[in-house]
Amino acid sequence: MNDSKRTDQLHWQANRQQRGRANSRGYMPGLDGLRALAVLAVIAYHLNLDWAPGGLLGVSLFFVLSGYLITNILLQQWEHSGTIDLKDFWLRRARRLLPALFVMLAGVMIWVMLCAPERLAALKWEALAAVFYTSNWYLIFHQVSYFESFGPPSPLGHLWSLAVEEQFYLFWPLLLGWGLRCLRQRKWLVGGTIAVALASAAAMALIYIPGHDPSRVYYGTDTRVFALLVGAVLAMVWPSRKMSADLSGKKKLALDAAGSLGLLVVLLMISKTNQYQTSLYPGGLLLFSLAAACVVAVLAHPASYLGRCFSWGPLRWLGECSYGIYLWHYPVIVLTNPVVNTGGPDLSHTLWQIAVSVILATLSRYLIEEPIRYGRRQRVRRRMSALPWWQRPLPHRAKVTFSIVLVFSLLFVTPNEGTEISAKALAGSRVTTEAAPTQGTDKEAGAVTVEPAVTDKKNDVSGEEITVIGDSLLINVGPVLQERLPGIVIDAQIGRQMVQAPEVISRLQQEGKLRKIVIIELGTNGSFTEKQLTETLDSLQGTSEIVLVNTRVPKPWEAVVNETLRKVTESYPKARLIDWYSASSGHDDYFYSDGVHLTKTGVAAYGEILIEALISHQNDKDKSCYNNKKLKE
């Protein structure tokens, strides 16, 4: 028995040494450290941490890394054998990616089935798309916005990026093999790849419309593949097999200086940009990919001091677990976040979410990914042969088969009916019930115009001087304003965004419904630029006062919208801002489960805040006029 254990130990050590020799030729530990940076940026973004608004760029960092490593492997294989073994490549990718994905999908489906069965009907189709790595196109064709959807977010929404990578793994070896066979000179292959990458970046720039939902260009394989191709080009011109650690002092200094500059750009863009900046899609993501490629090139070089820094043990270990962390962190965050949270971030809760994600990723790595990826077959077979059949562990093929069967069972055996109410349906129902007293309906689909109503209540502000332009929140609050401010005109539409405001203003002017005080409540449904807001305010030349209302919405654009409103209000003489975000802080009872639309209590509070702000401002104006009159006397 001792001899058997000793033999197994020696065999295991030999396998480790063999893998270590292989890794010494191709393994670049600094790149694992870069993976850690990428996954930490993505986690920070999904946790809505203020210091990393551009954490979504971590995905682009993964894309560049994948493009470089995959192309590097394929080129090495071509040079050694004169061909690309597609079957071997795809099987290795499947062994690396599929088992952990299936386990995560099964875990999420079981959790949802037990704790939130009303979500299964919608989630099962997303899971099916994830199994076939088509999540990104599923989201595009079903018009599911990564940034601007209401209701509880899907715990599988992050898998779009894995779909883009897997589609690249499927088609790129075929195209690369064709190019290597047909193009004798490598420069033509490099040039062709650069041309395709630029075409992809150009498609992103052309399809993107500032102020509109960027999900189409964000999800699309056609508009995101340039980051992977930037990595591929780097592998063609900077192959790891031709690098030498023997560099002079000046060359080492230049190498690390280039890497540090690229890293600085990467970190600055992660900390300073956000997904709504208009510069991000017409070139910003391409710039980030080029900076990331510079960092990858330096970290891959054995002579780089920066590479040794990124090879620090804990950072490298985190990078080795990055695939599992990426798989698990988003479901953990989505499924454990409170439904409504107006109290701000909870540090202990955030740390707990990160810890659970890392623990699940660690278990995935050591129990699922590495045993299936590396096999350890001979040792397992010898041990299994000496045990009774009932004590033998399941072979890896059985584990994978069981995971697949479990996922598909959960997809097709679980009930199809659900009780989840979408935010659109919720808002639509309110249009029918709460906006029923309206006297006129706008020609726009879903738009409701509330005309004057008879009431005995009096205020210092006359409703006949006020026009309100808003989205579904104002549909709810309309009856309150109508009662307190008789004569007010309220024009509200479900899903309305700031980019539509100038058209609405023009129509109201033609209809004679634009008063001297205009209140604008827009920003619930998405972000807008300072230019778009300024153009909206400029179209209100005939008004004497403009009141803007900021937003509270549990989505990434909340801070962007509120900051844009603050900046423009400070620079625009006729405009002032009502701070609904601060007024609603700590009042979870104001909101329905989507964290956006208002309960009866929230409607009353919102209406009262608007009315009090108008009355207070009118009193200040009256007092100022009185003081000026006394001074003249």
* Spatial contact of 63 and 224, defined as CB atoms under 8 Å apart: yes
For 288-305, how does the pLDDT look when each residue is reduced to its tens digit (9 = 90+)? 999 999 999 999 999 999
pLDDT score of 116 = 84
Between the alpha carbon of residue 62 and those of residues 35, 139, 402, 467, the distances in Å are 7, 20, 30, 49
* pLDDT lower than 70: segments of the chain: 1-26, 144-151, 375-460, 617-633
Q: What is the rounded radius of gyration, in angstroms, for the C-alpha atoms of the chain? A: 29
Phi, psi of 237 (to 5 degrees): -100, -10
Q: At what angle do helices 57-81 and 2-26 cross, to 10 degrees?
A: 100
CB-CB neighbours of 626 under 10 Å: 10
**Measured in whole angstroms, how far is the alpha carbon of residue 198 from the centre of its chain?**
24
pTM value?
Answer: 0.81
Q: Which of 446, 470, 580 is nearest to 520 (CA)?
A: 470
Q: Which residues are catalytic?
A: 472, 594, 597
In 252-275, which positions are buried (b, 16+ CB within 10 angstroms) versus exposed (e)? eeebbebbeebbebbbebbeebbb
Cα–Cα distance measured from residue 268 to residue 52, given in angstroms and rounded to the nearest whole number: 9
CB-CB neighbours of 579 under 10 Å: 16
Instruction: Quickly tell me which residue has 């004057």 as its tokens.
Output: 452
* Spatial contact of 154 and 422, defined as CB atoms under 8 Å apart: no
Q: At what angle do helices 120-131 and 160-182 cross, to 10 degrees?
A: 20
CB-CB neighbours of 288 under 10 Å: 25
* Spatial contact of 277 and 322, defined as CB atoms under 8 Å apart: no
In 559-575, which positions are buried (b, 16+ CB within 10 angstroms) versus exposed (e)? bbbbebbeebbeebeeb
- CATH 3.40.470.10 assigned to 423-632: no
CB-CB neighbours of 418 under 10 Å: 16
152: left (phi over 0), alpha (psi -120 to 50) or beta: beta
Q: Could you give the count of Cα atoms lying within 13 Å of 213 in the half-sphere of its Cβ?
A: 18
Cα–Cα distance measured from residue 83 to residue 189, given in angstroms and rounded to the nearest whole number: 16
Q: At what angle do helices 86-115 and 160-182 cross, to 10 degrees?
A: 170
Residues in the chain: 633
Cα–Cα distance measured from residue 224 to residue 483, given in angstroms and rounded to the nearest whole number: 51
Q: Sketch the domain layout of the chain as residue ranges.
A: 2-413, 423-632
